[in-house]
Every structure is written in structure tokens, then in C-alpha cells.
Amino acid sequence: MGDTVIPEAVRKELNRQFNHELMAAHHYEAMAWWCAHQTLPGFARFFRKQATEEREHAARIGRHLIDRGICPAVEAIPAPRCDFASLLEVARHARTMEQNNSRGIHAAYEAAVTAKDYPAQVMLHWFIHEQVEEEAWTAEMVARVEAATCAGALLDLDRHIERLLEAKETGGS
């Protein structure tokens, strides 16, 4: 365990963001089940993978707190949205969530800058970069779903996502 004392304002922000990442996982889990119910297995798999990634993000912050002698406090997570009128609503929900998540990361970073907490700043650099990617893929997903204007096109998109995930799992790009 390190002995770098973590400023209280930063501890609070990191703990808030830690729980925010767990909340994001919960939301992606709900989106995955909605897609499974709509017979969109590619999207379901994709969102389930996102849920796993969000839990890994929470763990990254949790480990940082542990390394600095703080036990992360897991808080209650409100029920995620489970009801969507269309896949487009799901995609837009994901985009809004990621935009909000970027704001949360930036708030944590600002607290670390104000407190001159360099270890937290360095740890959060990874997240700032990650959020650029997260916002980019959600924007792309919204655009692709918007462009798929008939049921057949949506199913094609779903199959495309499934193939893409399979290629990644078997070592492709």
C-alpha cells in the first residue's frame, strides 16, 4: 500500500466516478437484454461486452483508491432504463450516457488538478483518452442505426456487429 495521501475532494470525486462506471455497466446490461429480446444478438453481445468494460473501468479507479489506502465505497445503483421504443433510442441513450460520463471524468480530473494530486491526474489521463473513443463509437452507432431505415438493414447491421466481435475474439482487428 502506498503512502500518498489522497486529498478529500479527489477521494470524493474518484468514489463518485467509481460508482458512475458501475452504473454505466448496469445500463449496458439492460440494453443488452433489450436487444436480446428484440432478436438482435449482435447488439446484445456488443452491449454485454460494454458492460464488462465498464466494470473494468470501475476496477481501475477502485485499484487506484486501494493503492492509496482508501477502500472504495460501493453505493446503491438506481434501476437502469429497460424500456426502449427502438434500437435508435438505445443507441441515443448510449451516446448520452457516454457524454455524461465524459463530464464526470473531467470533473474528477479538475478536482485532481485543483488539489495538485498528480497520481490521480495521471490515472485519469487514460480515462480522458478512453472517453474520446467511447463518444466516437456511440456517435457512429447512432449514425449507422439512423441510416438503417428498414428492418432488413437493421438485421444486416446486427450480423455485421456479430461478425466484427467474432473477428476480434479470434485475434482479428
Nearer to ligand FEO, 134 or 154 (CB): 134
Residue 29 or 134: which CB sits closer to ligand FEO?
134
64 binds ligand FEO (CB under 6 A): no
Contacts of 14 (CB under 8 A, 6+ apart): 6, 61, 64, 65, 108, 120
**CB of 48 or CB of 57, closer to ligand FEO:** 57
Applying CB under 6 A, among 46, 101, 120, 123 the residue interacting with ligand FEO is 101
Which residue among 134, 142, 157, 161 contacts ligand FEO (CB under 6 A)?
134
**Nearer to ligand FEO (CB atom), residue 6 or residue 22:** 22
Task: Pick one of 11, 45, 48, 57: the residue that binds ligand FEO (CB under 6 A).
Answer: 57
Nearest CA to 102 out of 67, 65, 134 is that of 134
Instruction: Kindly state whether residue 98 participates in binding ligand FEO, applying the rule CB under 6 A.
Output: yes
CB under 8 Å, gap of 24 or more: what pairs does 40-43 form? 40/87, 40/154, 40/155, 40/158, 41/158, 41/162, 42/157, 42/158, 42/159, 42/160, 42/161, 42/162, 42/163, 42/165, 43/87, 43/90, 43/158, 43/161
Q: Environment class of residue 128 by beta-carbon count within 10 Å: exposed (0-12), middle (13-18) or buried (19+)? A: middle
Is 31 a binding residue for ligand FEO by CB under 6 A? The answer is no
CB of 45 to ligand FEO, least distance (A): 17
By the rule CB under 6 A, 24 interacts with ligand FEO: yes
Can residue 13 be called a binding residue for ligand FEO (CB under 6 A)? no
* Residues binding ligand FEO (CB under 6 A): 21, 24, 54, 57, 98, 101, 134
